[in-house]
């Protein structure tokens, strides 16, 4: 009986030992591997004896939010949505015209654009937006003035701007020594502003007066139309403002008053007295302008501010 009891105890010890080994192996596997990945800590951490407590759910959530915010900052600021105004679109469309006309009047175009925004922000709620009158130039009764086209309104505003801020105009005195094509293109461009002026007539009169834009004395004076004052030939600071003054003169004092042929214009522009003592158009002047007209009527008169900005004379 004692032999059987000893044998039973021996078998019990063996079974208990096997169970203990199995449990030990299972615990070892659980502590050393998760999905096949080793969880061994870095030496610096494993050498520490302090036990790190588990974080609360609330604290974990706050850390996660902080981490998200930090990552957004590192990735750069969020892109702001820009709302384009009518003035933004206007400036984009007519930027070359603004640049060239500011150059003509010798004002800084960036300062001028800044003023455009100031005037727009001040007047938009009252008057809205009209691209032919971006300067909000008013009539005596407080209503907006009407201008013939966008570039005409821009020129009027630049003149108004200079009148109110004369120090913004920096005198640019340049004796022009360039070629005749640039001068002819200035006339073509400015008559796209003052559309009542016939481009070919303006070209022909200027050619007759300045020897097809080659008389050096007139070019240096910026005066291609023969305008005179008590002191002699009128001198302009530069060729751009001189040619613009010529086209404005034709627009307001001739075409604007119904004088739109060579004979009508010449009667005032270049008169003479015939043998009978009568005032007539100078026959020599008529011959010169008519000959010039035969040249210019065959040419393309489409010239933009972009074309002019690419010319070496104004760089």
β-strands 232-233, 271-273 pairing: unpaired
Mean pLDDT by 10-residue block, N- to C-terminus, for the chain (315 residues)? 47 56 53 43 42 48 52 52 80 96 96 97 96 96 95 97 94 92 97 97 97 96 94 94 98 97 95 93 96 91 92 49
Same domain, 216 and 304: yes
- How many Cβ atoms are within 10 Å of 24's Cβ, its own excluded? 10
Within a domain: residue 205?
A: yes
The answer to whether residue 192 sits within a structural domain is: yes
- At 299 the pLDDT is 86
Shared domain for 184 and 310, answered yes or no, is yes
Residue 114 is assigned to a structural domain of this protein: yes
8 A C-beta contact, residue 255 and residue 237:
no
Shared domain check, 243 and 130: no
CATH at 193 = 1.10.530
DSSP-assigned beta bridge partners for residue 233: 228
pLDDT at 84: 73
What does the pLDDT read at residue 4?
45
Q: Looking at the whole model, is its pTM more than 0.95? A: no
Q: What are 273's strand-pairing partners? A: 279
Does some domain include residue 37?
no
Whole-number Cα distances in Å, 264 to 91, 210, 281: 40, 20, 8
Of 121, 143, 168, the last residue of a domain is 168
Q: What does each C-alpha distance from 231 to 80, 144, 174, 227, 228 come to in angstroms?
A: 60, 39, 20, 11, 8
Same domain for 185 and 152?
Answer: no
Please report whether residue 255 resides in a domain: yes
Residue-level pLDDT at 154: 97
Q: How far is CA 45 from CA 31, 51, 60, in A?
A: 16, 10, 21
Output the pLDDT for position 149. 96
184 and 290 in a single domain? The answer is yes
Same domain, 147 and 208: no
Torsion of Cα atoms, 33 then 34 then 35 then 40, to 10°: -60
> Does residue 27 lie within any of the structural domains?
no
pLDDT at position 230 is: 87
* Continuous H helices in 80-234: 86-104, 109-127, 150-164, 180-190, 199-210, 216-220
DSSP string, 214-256: T-HHHHHTT-SS--EETTEE---SSHHHHHHHHHHHHHHHTGG
Q: Is the domain of 201 the same as that of 269?
A: yes
Q: Which position has the token pair 């302090």?
A: 50
Please answer whether residues 304 and 193 qualify as being in contact, where contact means their C-beta atoms are separated by less than 8 angstroms.
no
How far apart, in whole angstroms, are the C-alpha atoms of residue 301 and residue 311? 17
- Note whether 163 and 103 are same-domain residues: yes
* Of residues 74, 226, 97, the one with CA closest to residue 153: 97
**In this structure, is residue 55 part of a structural domain?**
no
- Specify whether 151 is located in the same domain as 266: no
Last residue of a domain, one of 125, 144, 168: 168
Q: Are residues 243 and 133 in the same domain?
A: no
Q: For the chain, what is the domain count? A: 2
Question: DSSP of 110-122, one letter per residue?
Answer: HHHHHHHHHHHHH
Q: Give the whole-angstrom CA distance, residue 295 versus residue 70.
A: 72
| CA separation, residue 131 to residues 54, 119, 138, 312 (Å) | 67, 13, 14, 30
* 287 inside domain: yes
Looking at 141, 168, 195, the residue that finishes a domain is 168
Domain hosting 271: range is: 180-314
Same domain, 157 and 235: no
pLDDT of residue 79: 56
How is residue 244 written in tokens? 């613009």
């Amino acid at each position: 009986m004692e032999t059987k009891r000893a044998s039973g105890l021996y078998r019990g010890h063996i079974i208990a030992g096997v169970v203990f080994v199995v449990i030990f192996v299972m615990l070892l596997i659980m502590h050393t591997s998760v999905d096949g990945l080793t969880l061994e800590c870095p030496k610096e951490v494993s050498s520490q004896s302090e036990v790190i407590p588990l974080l609360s759910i609330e604290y974990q959530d706050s850390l996660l939010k902080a981490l998200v915010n930090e990552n957004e900052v590192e990735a750069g600021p969020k892109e702001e949505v820009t709302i384009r105004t009518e003035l933004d679109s206007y400036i984009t469309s007519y930027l070359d015209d603004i640049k060239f006309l500011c150059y003509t009047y010798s004002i800084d175009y960036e300062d001028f654009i800044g003023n455009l925004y100031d005037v727009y922000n001040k007047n938009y709620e009252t008057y809205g937006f009209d691209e032919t009158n971006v300067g909000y130039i008013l009539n005596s009764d407080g209503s907006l003035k009407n201008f013939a086209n966008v570039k005409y309104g821009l020129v009027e505003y630049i003149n108004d701007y200079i009148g109110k801020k004369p120090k913004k105009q920096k005198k640019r005195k340049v004796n022009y020594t360039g070629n005749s094509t640039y001068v002819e293109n200035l006339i073509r461009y400015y008559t796209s502003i003052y559309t009542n002026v016939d481009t070919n007539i303006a070209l022909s009169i200027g050619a007759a007066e300045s020897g097809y834009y080659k008389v050096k004395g007139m070019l240096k004076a910026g005066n291609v139309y023969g305008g005179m004052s008590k002191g002699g030939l009128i001198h302009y600071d530069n060729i751009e403002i001189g040619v613009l003054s010529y086209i404005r003169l034709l627009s307001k004092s001739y075409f604007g008053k119904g004088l739109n042929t060579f004979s009508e214009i010449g009667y005032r522009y270049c008169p003479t007295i015939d043998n009978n003592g009568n005032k007539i158009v100078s026959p020599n002047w008529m011959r010169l302008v008519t000959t010039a007209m035969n040249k210019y009527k065959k040419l393309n008169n489409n010239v933009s501010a972009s074309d002019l900005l690419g010319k070496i004379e104004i760089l």
